[in-house]
Chains A and B, each alone.
Chain A
């Protein structure tokens, strides 16, 4: 099947002395092209799901694929086409913002010169070009998340997996981020995890809800909003609460 696909994914964490904690159970999800909001309560497994998509973790069973590429068997080519911004992004001490983004590009297989050029473009996209020569580790939390975002954008991946990218951003930066989503989501697959339903706007074309180890909803934003009780002031939140409480 074409596109970005999680198929029959099971994953559990090993806990010392407490056996295994199952997080995902035979999860199958065909991620649509466009921008998808991945909703879930804290601890639902959103970060785990994105980490599996980025191959930072490997599933116990099942597989992740992008078009013809299997994440396990063709890992290098797969990784080249998938970008991931982890929830806790950390800059390498000593590097400037531009060097940090360039290094991320190099780590994704770009040549040094291409990565250097790509870094300038990526920094412009997240409006960080003025801070390009500042040490990345000395920036504020919100600015560092934008560096992380630029690092994810630098190699022009087909799939972007962004784990809580707006946490720590001020309202202006969030607005800028939504604008960025519209731009980058036009021709690629973007998954943005969040537990803040207030974040979900028309910048997102799809919504997926991860609940109890599986995808409880996967559809267009309008369809999700339509599940909210009539007259809801915050339809996304209402729809989400209705979905997870119905599942209990």
Chain B
């Protein structure tokens, strides 16, 4: 159809601009940690949960119009496949516009660089699949049933299925909103599961529409459905709720600062980034203070620090947040705290984190934000007024300071609260 005709009659075309605006608004209200393109793309694809409904509904509308015009039953030279593709193209374009719009908006808004193209491709195939499901509904069901059901069904598939107890089911949809921390990459198995499932939906929908006219189309469609469900489930069931795998560590960018090896993911390593300069400054200051810090700081091991290695979990790009992340890495929760009978309140961990943060020059505001409860009522948690404590520790000799730190760290490592917090 001509563009002028589409502009006049196609709900998919009318909805393109409002949908794009809606999707961009949605994206700019989400959080995209880490400046990581993969995470930003995943966040963008989550808009599919409510926007794919428009794709399916407009395709159903188009099919209903063709049916009412008697087009479907008439003998044409154009194949049904040709007619179907032409009819659903505006709906697919609507989906493509909002998908690309959200991905670009998320990348720009989240300062995330290049998007994860594989995720966009699977998302696009999911949009194609739902446009065909919508077209099928429009052909087979009364309009009063087809339109509302097509508005609702994609929402259930994309939003309700992830709420089910079978956590891997969500990976079949082609939407990967739970992906990915910066140290992880999108799971190829999850991508394949979504891809295969949506291709199976496309083939089965085309068969049900009557657009597959080859000799063995029924067998092909049935096989595709069974094999698609089985294979995609097999892939997805190994993934779990979070569709991510460990990232290739060769991508880490490592350098040495004051004899400390500092390894960051490339997204945090750019010269325009705040991460490496802040970390460099912190390492230099802590080393100058003579404080015991690990000899290797790396984002690869986020959340799992040891005596030799600090696992950095950097998720916000302002210096205070970076300092707080370091403090968390320097005073990690001990393994014994996970035992149900440990009885460990963890106050000493928070005291330690607050001290590290203060020692790195962290702001009062951030300290208040993270430890406000402890600052307000220290006695309720068995700790002294911590600002006074920090002043006392900071004014003590280096030897006393290190001894205090080691005493608190070792008691915390054994899930014990120290007898007293005073610096000797």
A residues within 8 Å of B by Cβ?
A: 54-56, 76, 79-80, 84, 86, 88-96, 99, 102-103, 106-109, 112, 116
CB atoms of B9 and A94 under 8 A apart: yes
A/B pair count, beta carbons within 8 Å? 57
Known: A76-B77, A103-B1, A108-B76. A90 touches B9 (CB 8 A): no
B residues within 8 Å of A by Cβ?
A: 1-2, 5, 8-9, 65-66, 68-71, 73-79, 83
Q: Given contacts A90-B69, A107-B71, could you give 16 more A-B pairs where the C-beta distance is less than 8 Å?
A: A54-B75, A55-B75, A76-B79, A79-B76, A86-B70, A86-B74, A88-B70, A89-B70, A90-B68, A90-B70, A92-B65, A99-B1, A103-B1, A106-B78, A107-B74, A116-B2
CB atoms of B74 and A92 under 8 A apart: no
Complex CA–CA separation, A55 to B74 (angstroms): 9
Q: Which residues of the other chain, B, contact A95 by a CB distance below 8 angstroms?
A: 5, 9, 69
Closest-CB distance, B137 to chain A (whole angstroms): 18
CB atoms of B77 and A107 under 8 A apart: yes
Complex CA–CA separation, A96 to B73 (angstroms): 21
Complex CA–CA separation, A107 to B70 (angstroms): 12
Q: Which residues of the other chain, A, contact B66 by a CB distance below 8 angstroms?
A: 92
CB atoms of A79 and B71 under 8 A apart: no
CB atoms of B2 and A92 under 8 A apart: no
Partner of B65, one of A84, A94, A109: A94
**Which chain B residue shows the least CB distance to A91?**
B69
Closest-CB distance, B209 to chain A (whole angstroms): 16
CB atoms of A56 and B5 under 8 A apart: no
CB atoms of B5 and A99 under 8 A apart: yes
CB atoms of B75 and A84 under 8 A apart: yes
CB atoms of A93 and B5 under 8 A apart: no
Complex CA–CA separation, A93 to B76 (angstroms): 19
Partner of A93, one of B65, B75, B78: B65
Q: List 18 A-B contacts (CB under 8 A).
A: A56-B75, A79-B75, A79-B76, A79-B77, A80-B77, A84-B74, A86-B70, A88-B70, A90-B68, A92-B65, A92-B66, A92-B69, A93-B69, A96-B5, A99-B5, A102-B2, A107-B77, A108-B77
Complex CA–CA separation, A134 to B173 (angstroms): 43
Q: Which residues of the other chain, B, contact A107 by a CB distance below 8 angstroms?
A: 71, 74, 76-78, 83
Closest-CB distance, A160 to chain B (whole angstroms): 14
Complex CA–CA separation, A45 to B396 (angstroms): 108
Complex CA–CA separation, A201 to B276 (angstroms): 94
Q: Which residues of the other chain, A, contact B78 by a CB distance below 8 angstroms?
A: 106-109
Closest-CB distance, B48 to chain A (whole angstroms): 28
Closest-CB distance, B66 to chain A (whole angstroms): 6
Complex CA–CA separation, A92 to B62 (angstroms): 10
Q: Which residues of the other chain, A, contact B79 by a CB distance below 8 angstroms?
A: 76
Q: Which residues of the other chain, B, contact A108 by a CB distance below 8 angstroms?
A: 76-78
Closest-CB distance, A159 to chain B (whole angstroms): 12
CB atoms of B2 and A112 under 8 A apart: yes
Complex CA–CA separation, A239 to B300 (angstroms): 96
Complex CA–CA separation, A103 to B70 (angstroms): 12
Complex CA–CA separation, A94 to B14 (angstroms): 14
**Which chain B residue shows the least CB distance to A148?**
B70
Closest-CB distance, A89 to chain B (whole angstroms): 7
**Which chain A residue shows the least CB distance to B73?**
A56
Complex CA–CA separation, A156 to B1 (angstroms): 20
Closest-CB distance, A178 to chain B (whole angstroms): 26
